[in-house]
Structure 1
Amino acid sequence: MATMAEVAARAGVSTATVSRALSGKPVSDEVAEAVRRAAAELDYSIDRTARSLRRRYSDVVALVVPDVENPFFTAVARGVEDVAREAGLSLVLCNSDDDPEQEARYVEVASEEQMAGLILAPAGPDPRLDPLLRKGRTVVVIDRLVDAPLDHVVLDNQALGRIATEHLLALGHRRIACITGPQETSTARERAEGWAQALTAAGATPDPQLLLHATYRVEGGQSAMHELLDLPEPPEAVVATNNMVGVGLLRALSTTTHHAAPQVSVIGDLPFITSDVAGAVTMPLHPREMGTRAAQMFVERLQGETGPPRRVVLDPTTPEPLTRLLTGPETR
């Protein structure tokens, strides 16, 4: 049986547009005709799929993020909501506070309330998704990797850590520190790996004293920066692997009497109150695209896509967001 994704590919439109066209919602005459023709050629019926979906679950999707106050996840939510609304889905935003127990409770609620599924930025490497997966619900993972055969939308975190460090190396710095997130978090590990790779490639051996794991919060970055400044030989420059860590780092520097404050490179956009800090270089991450791509994959699964797990990697090495779609067992 043909899927909505196949109809969309043949008509040259999005799956959301196919849904609108076949549901009688406003689209241009040209698009409507292209969709109807593609559906007829593939013998596709949206009514059959819609009836099946209504029997099984509601038109509600939950987005669970570790920190709803982080502007990164606010932008992710906007991308998800845009696609969900166009596909006729309602969005519920949940804050896990980076707590696996709270996250597991939201998974249970999504299952009990017969939600269509979950888009999840996991609090840990092994989220408890069984209540949803046993019911065949759709789950898409964003931002952080989990060891499960699910669709993912993530960043190329090693590249982010490497590029942020290479920028500081190009300015002549060699004693470069890295403040990253918890060791159990894939983004934290991978960005730290990129930091070490860049230093090694430049002939500057990474100093274990200069790699600090903190919470992905303002307080974590602030405390870690003070720890670095208290070293007998403080770093010349620092990579902050998260926007909130970057804010904390800059707060620490603003209150220190240290006469030679280090150069700062932040992975992520700083909130507007700190965006004009002199000497701080930021790397935009395009979180709204992450939300958009995750929601598109979610809708495709909901509407019949049955292929193997996919991983979309948002590539930071180009001026415009570039995605690499990896499919099959080689994804991790």
Structure 2
Amino acid sequence: MATIQDVAKHAGVSIATVSRVLNGTTYVNEEVTSRVRAAIKELNYQPSRAAQALRAHRSKIIGLLISDIQNPFFTGLIRGVEDVANRNGYSLILCNSDENPRKEQQYIEVLCSERVAGAIVVSTSENPKKLHLFRDHDIPFVSVDRRIKDRTTDAILIDNVSGAYEAVTHLITNGYHRIGVITGPVSTTTGRERLEGYRKALREAGLALEPALECVDDFKSMGGYQGALKLLDLTPPIDALFVTNNLMTLGALEAIHERHLRIPDDIAIVGFDEMPWAALSAISLTTVTQPVYELGSSAALRLFQRLQNPTSLSKQEIVLSPTLQVRDSTRPRPSLKGA
């Protein structure tokens, strides 16, 4: 007995396209429709009424796939998504890829098998595998925090380049000229764009770009710790650090403490992402603050627009602006005080 997969293969289209032709709920051009109907006739395909009933049933659940559940950054983002979902009568399934592409693929399969109404994804890379499964199952999805290479996917993002540029320019203005950077994987737009902003600030200030001053690791605290130790061992020494996420900043602070260095007298530091204690510690931390709740709520709002208008909306990319919160960890160098 022929299956819907057989029909799709015979007609040279996706399973989702066959489903659209069968259900008649979404426009498919006449030439493709003719091919699908011809394949159905030739293969004597008989759609299962039970399967059609299941496909017609839209769940009231939204899937949210994040990249690191241990990162406090995602707390606000999750709350933003959840609040919008609840207002619309939907519940949330939370999945954690842990920056692992294999886990990401598994969770995409799970969300599709659970027939979620839609999904919001923080991808592990610009080319995540298995995302096509959402389209195959007619599940709309939105990319959040990180851009993916797809011309049709909505994205809600942060202006990482300008945030990093402002942070490093602030350090340069305060007299720091040998600035190290610790960033996450450049396979992610967050890692690469924050590095780009760092480089842009140095170039515009007439400072040389030195590969030795750039550390690329994961977005976890151990990556920040190891990167900081490496940069602190350089000769001549660095006078400032720009760290591109909150967990890596924690690791870098641990390394600075182990070396018995004073902030900012021996070394200045700027982090990316606000942390609850950033303004309360002995040396308050200058940070690039992201509007994380708005990031999540905007992604959810866009997803519900997709649910209401599955085919009539063009791709939308929303870019939110971060804010530099200046605190004691980047005080001007002594030679500049009173200037």
- The TM-score range, normalised by the shorter chain, is 0.7 to 0.9
**Structure 2 CA distance for partners of 1:100 and 1:134, relative to 1, 3 Å:** same
CA contact (8 A) 2:290 2:323 kept: no
**3-state DSSP class of the match of 1:82?**
helix
Selected match of 2:165 from 159, 162, 165: 162
Residue pairs, 1:187-226, within 5 angstroms:
187-226=190-229
CA deviation vs aligned residue, 1:79-133 (integer Å, no higher than 9, x gap):
0000000011100111100011101111111111111121000011112212111
CA deviation vs aligned residue, 1:252-289 (integer Å, no higher than 9, x gap):
11111357631001111124378525163112101111
Selected match of 1:183 from 178, 183, 186: 186
Residue pairs, 1:239-254, within 5 angstroms:
239-254=242-257
CA deviation vs aligned residue, 1:220-243 (integer Å, no higher than 9, x gap):
101100011111222110111111
CA contact (8 A) 2:225 2:251 kept: yes
Residue 235 in structure 1 maps to residue 238 in structure 2: yes
Residue 312 in structure 1 maps to residue 318 in structure 2: yes
**3-state DSSP class of the match of 1:228?**
helix
Q: What amino acid sits opposite 2:144 in the alignment?
A: I
Residue 206 of structure 1, CA deviation: 1.7
1:86 matched residue in structure 2: 87
1:282 matched residue in structure 2: 287
**Structure 2 CA distance for partners of 1:204 and 1:152, relative to 1, 3 Å:** same
Q: What amino acid sits opposite 1:68 in the alignment?
A: I
**Structure 2 CA distance for partners of 1:256 and 1:280, relative to 1, 3 Å:** same
**Structure 2 CA distance for partners of 1:274 and 1:223, relative to 1, 3 Å:** farther
1:19 matched residue in structure 2: none
1:111 matched residue in structure 2: 112
Residue 62 of structure 1, CA deviation: 0.8
CA contact (8 A) 2:163 2:324 kept: no
1-structure distance, mates of 2:251, 2:288: 17
Residue 299 in structure 1 maps to residue 304 in structure 2: yes
Residue 56 of structure 1, CA deviation: 3.8
Selected match of 2:269 from 264, 272, 288: 264
CA contact (8 A) 2:288 2:324 kept: no
Uncovered stretches (5+) of structure 2, i.e. residues with no partner: 1-52, 326-339
**3-state DSSP class of the match of 1:312?**
strand
Residue 54 of structure 1, CA deviation: 8.5
2-structure distance, mates of 1:157, 1:70: 18
Q: What amino acid sits opposite 1:230 in the alignment?
A: D
Percent of matched pairs sharing the same residue: 34
CA contact (8 A) 1:60 1:91 kept: yes
CA deviation vs aligned residue, 1:284-327 (integer Å, no higher than 9, x gap):
101111000000000110112521111000012699xxxxxxxx
1:96 matched residue in structure 2: 97
**Structure 2 CA distance for partners of 1:314 and 1:146, relative to 1, 3 Å:** same
CA contact (8 A) 1:71 1:271 kept: no
**Structure 2 CA distance for partners of 1:277 and 1:107, relative to 1, 3 Å:** farther
Q: What amino acid sits opposite 2:273 in the alignment?
A: G
2-structure distance, mates of 1:277, 1:184: 35
CA deviation vs aligned residue, 1:175-227 (integer Å, no higher than 9, x gap):
11111001211111111110010011011112111011011011110110001
CA deviation vs aligned residue, 1:52-84 (integer Å, no higher than 9, x gap):
999242111111111111111111000000000
Equivalent pairs counted in the alignment come to 268
1:132 matched residue in structure 2: 134
**Structure 2 CA distance for partners of 1:279 and 1:229, relative to 1, 3 Å:** farther
**3-state DSSP class of the match of 1:272?**
coil
CA deviation vs aligned residue, 1:134-156 (integer Å, no higher than 9, x gap):
12211100011100120000100
CA contact (8 A) 1:263 1:279 kept: no
Q: What amino acid sits opposite 1:182 in the alignment?
A: P
**Structure 2 CA distance for partners of 1:53 and 1:166, relative to 1, 3 Å:** farther
Residue 174 of structure 1, CA deviation: 0.8
Using the TM superposition, name which of 289-298 and 272-281 deviates more.
Answer: 272-281
**Structure 2 CA distance for partners of 1:243 and 1:318, relative to 1, 3 Å:** closer
Q: What amino acid sits opposite 2:140 in the alignment?
A: T
TM-score normalised by the chain length of structure 1: 0.77
**Structure 2 CA distance for partners of 1:193 and 1:59, relative to 1, 3 Å:** same
CA contact (8 A) 1:216 1:245 kept: yes
**Structure 2 CA distance for partners of 1:279 and 1:173, relative to 1, 3 Å:** farther
**Structure 2 CA distance for partners of 1:53 and 1:289, relative to 1, 3 Å:** farther
**Structure 2 CA distance for partners of 1:278 and 1:60, relative to 1, 3 Å:** same
TM-score normalised by the chain length of structure 2: 0.75
What is the RMSD of the two structures over their aligned residues, measured on CA atoms?
A: 2.0
1-structure distance, mates of 2:277, 2:55: 43
